[in-house]
Amino acid sequence: MEEEFLHFIWTYQLFDHTDLTSINGEVVQIIHSGIHNTNSGPDFSEARILIGANLWIGNVEIHVNTSDWFLHQHQLDAAYSNVILHVVYNHNTENWEKDQATYIPLIELKKRIDLHKYHEWKKLKTKKSWIPCESLIHNVPPIVISQMINRMAIERLERKVKEVEILVDRLNGNWENALMQSIVSALGSKVNKDVFHSLALILPFTLLKRFENDQEKLDALIFGIAGFLDGNLRDKYPRALQKQYFFLRRKFEFISIKPERWKFMRMRPSNFPTIRLGQLSSLLSSWTSICDLVFYKKDISLLEGGFRKNIDPYWDSHYRFDVRSSDKKIQMGESMYNSILINSIVPFMYAFGRRHDNEEIKSRALSFLEIIKPEKNAVIEKWNLLIGNSFNALESQGLIELKNNYCSFKKCLSCKVGIWILNNK
């Protein structure tokens, strides 16, 4: 027997309650099992339990064996002083009431649990498939799967919102600066994620705002601080940026990125960091209107014009400074644009709405996830094979969260799908 399974049994009260008594013969009636605590301290809080003629409200602690109470030294921990019921699978300590300074009622579940569920759960845990229930999920009602996906989508969004709130607080409440840093970090994708994050931390937001209507200065600041304007440059465009950047650097003393940190290998030229930096500069030239749309306006479709506008014509024939390439029109792809909406814009909207107690903005953020196209990646492709296609970003975000933080850790007892399977085997 494992304690994790006992927590599941207690949460859903999946044991025989007939003539339930404590080891001292007191009649026990569970009014409310309590709130599951995943942090330190007793396993369940705010439980309501009728013991004999008295209603008790407090904590419940669960162990496989009674002796685990002493093994974990709960008798020495003040956090366990409000435990009103000790629940064990196997009562293996004689004179439990005499070992306690103050007696805590105890019930044993060994003969009250259907071990068939336990064995089925163990089978799920030992599965080597992509997800534990891969061979069984086709039996689960779609409504159960949908409910779990939606719950996971909200969990994922909540985690991102907390990250936004931490960033905003670190920047003393400057929402625009925090949003800019988040977008810059998102532009790095996987390969250049760390270096784009470093760039986000050192870009001078005040100056970028000041030069919003001066594209050349924006380009010079961004490419210069990124480390691409040092050394000998031949083409007219980078030489002009270099001259502008050197002037600004003498005046403002910038910190810059070492150019060798940027990676160009094993990626499409359209994803090269130079192209992403050009797109960043272009969107910052529309920064005021972008922020207005994010925080105050309703039509998110207007954002696309600011994010997917054409960058400097130089990049139509180059992917790197001084290196000629075939002609093409450079514009941020739909996939990258949607990724920024999902991972930066929507969490910022929701966090802004929560911080300002504005339910309309929070609701708008969620509605945007319902109209944005789902991500395209290996995780979503596999889910689509198992349960059918996801139709929007809300669903795909939920599926990613479900796989990464539940299925991969085999948290079947915390999953609606897993619970349905165990209850219907």
Please give the Cα distance from 244 to 220 (Å, whole number).
6
Pairing of strands 83-90, 106-108: parallel
User: For residue 327, what pLDDT is reported?
Assistant: 74
Tokens of 207: 């100056």
Q: Which of 307, 317, 312 shows the shortest CA–CA distance to 342?
A: 307
SS3 call for 299: coil
pLDDT band, very low/low/confident/very high, at 305 (cuts 50, 70, 90): confident
CB 60 within 8 A of CB 87: yes
Beta bridge partners of 58: 47
Q: Which of 12-26, 201-215, 237-251 has the lowest mean pLDDT?
A: 12-26
User: For residue 70, what pLDDT is reported?
Assistant: 85
The predicted-structure confidence for 94-150, as pLDDT tens digits, reads as follows 777 655 556 789 999 998 998 888 888 888 888 889 999 999 999 999 999 999 999
pLDDT of 330 above 80: no
User: For residue 98, what pLDDT is reported?
Assistant: 59
Please give the Cα distance from 251 to 41 (Å, whole number).
56
Q: How many alpha carbons fall within 13 Å on the CB side of residue 262?
A: 21
Tokens 């005499």 found at = 98
CB 378 within 8 A of CB 403: no
pLDDT of 351 above 70: yes
User: For residue 128, what pLDDT is reported?
Assistant: 86
Please give the Cα distance from 86 to 65 (Å, whole number).
10
Please give the Cα distance from 94 to 102 (Å, whole number).
16
Please give the Cα distance from 264 to 232 (Å, whole number).
20
Query: For the chain, first and last CA: distance in Å?
Result: 19
List of residues 6+ apart from 386 with CB closer than 8 A: 131, 134, 137, 138
User: For residue 102, what pLDDT is reported?
Assistant: 63
User: For residue 100, what pLDDT is reported?
Assistant: 56
How much is the average pLDDT of 253-270? 87
Q: Which of 54-58, 222-226, 269-273 has the highest mean pLDDT?
A: 222-226
- Max CA separation in the chain (angstroms): 91
User: For residue 395, what pLDDT is reported?
Assistant: 93
pLDDT of 17 above 70: yes
pTM: 0.79
CA separation, residue 425 to residues 83, 141, 364, 421 (Å) = 34, 14, 40, 6
Q: What is the DSSP string of 33-61?
A: --EEP-SSS-SEEEEEEEETTEEEEEEEE
Please give the Cα distance from 384 to 186 (Å, whole number).
25
DSSP 344: I
Higher pLDDT, 100 or 84: 84
Please give the Cα distance from 335 to 310 (Å, whole number).
16
Q: Which of 184, 165, 185 shows the shortest CA–CA distance to 175?
A: 165
Tokens 């400097």 found at = 312
CB 225 within 8 A of CB 246: no
Q: Which percentage of the chain shows pLDDT scores above 90?
A: 53
CB 422 within 8 A of CB 117: yes
pLDDT of 372 above 70: yes
